[in-house]
Homo-oligomer: A and B are copies of this chain.
Amino acid sequence: MSTAQGGPYERAHRPTRPEGAPTVDRRSAIRQAALRLFASQGYRSTTMTDIGAAVGIRGPSLYKHVASKHELLAEIMIDTMDQLIADNAAAVAGTDDVREQLRRSTEAHIRYHARHRLEAFVGNREIGSLEQADQDRVLSRRSDYERRFRELIERGVAEGAFCVRSARIASYSILDMGIGVSSWFHEGGEFSVDQLAYHYGDTALRIVGARHPGPAPQEHDLPLG
């Protein structure tokens, strides 16, 4: 059940590293190990002993670097939402065209869920494992993030660029597709991250029934069109 067990031997009382230098490094190693374990075994099934073993120390020694197991999970999930929001802000900042903004927002969404599969996966599965205060922090960020997509689509509809019955459901559709990516994507498969992002950018535009820009309104034969 445990992981990087170097075997029960040659472990007793290895002296500390050359004096406190790589402590910062150590902390991120712990976080990374925790993330991997949370993703593969679940938060609840991962023990401090597991996390310690993954970085070569005992469970109780982790408390020199982190305050608690909860803190590790909360940090991962809050940072994930902050990154998604920051990426989205950058995506919409580059253009005024609502179609292009939706394409870039979707690409950023997909890129994050493909490149940071584990963070996204844990972030979506372990919300209920957070303490109330941290759960509130994550959920309010998630609401912000969802609103960005919804309002973008509403604007597209208002401008006549998009055609959907419900901007809310269209935004959920696009977001949920991306969340799914974090479950099945792996590098080295049929598509690269960039190809995947571009593909989903197109799909998002299909979902919202995007019409080509230009002076003359165009016809198309889509359902709901």
* A-to-B contact residues, CB < 8 Å: 40-42, 44-45, 125, 128-129, 165-166, 168-170, 172-173, 175-177, 179-181, 183-184, 190-191, 196, 199-200, 202-203, 205-207, 209-212, 218-224
Nearest-CB residue, chain B, relative to A184 = B172
Minimum Cβ distance to chain B for residue A180 (Å): 3
CA distance A77 to B219 in the complex (A): 45
Interface centre among A45, A175, A207 (most CB of B within 10 A): A207
- Establish whether residues B42 and A203, one from each chain, have CB atoms under 8 Å apart when the complex forms: no
Residues of chain B lying within 8 A (CB to CB) of residue A42? 42, 44, 128-129
Nearest-CB residue, chain B, relative to A222 = B206
Minimum Cβ distance to chain B for residue A35 (Å): 15
Residues of chain B lying within 8 A (CB to CB) of residue A221? 211-212, 218, 220
Q: What are 17 contact pairs spanning A and B, CB under 8 A?
A: A45-B129, A166-B191, A168-B190, A169-B196, A173-B200, A175-B180, A176-B176, A176-B180, A176-B183, A177-B177, A180-B180, A206-B209, A206-B224, A212-B221, A218-B221, A220-B220, A220-B222
Nearest-CB residue, chain B, relative to A124 = B183
Minimum Cβ distance to chain B for residue A113 (Å): 10
User: Interface on chain A toward B: helix, strand, loop, or mixed SS?
Assistant: helix
Q: Pick the contact of A206 from B41, B181, B183, B206 — CB < 8 Å?
A: B206
Nearest-CB residue, chain B, relative to A44 = B44
Nearest-CB residue, chain B, relative to A99 = B223
CA distance A42 to B207 in the complex (A): 33
- Given known A176-B179, A211-B221, contact A165–B199 (CB-CB < 8 A): yes
CA distance A129 to B42 in the complex (A): 8
Residues of chain B lying within 8 A (CB to CB) of residue A222? 205-206, 210, 220, 222
CA distance A44 to B176 in the complex (A): 25
Residues of chain B lying within 8 A (CB to CB) of residue A172? 177, 180-181, 184
Nearest-CB residue, chain B, relative to A173 = B177
Residues of chain B lying within 8 A (CB to CB) of residue A207? 203, 206-207
CA distance A181 to B173 in the complex (A): 9
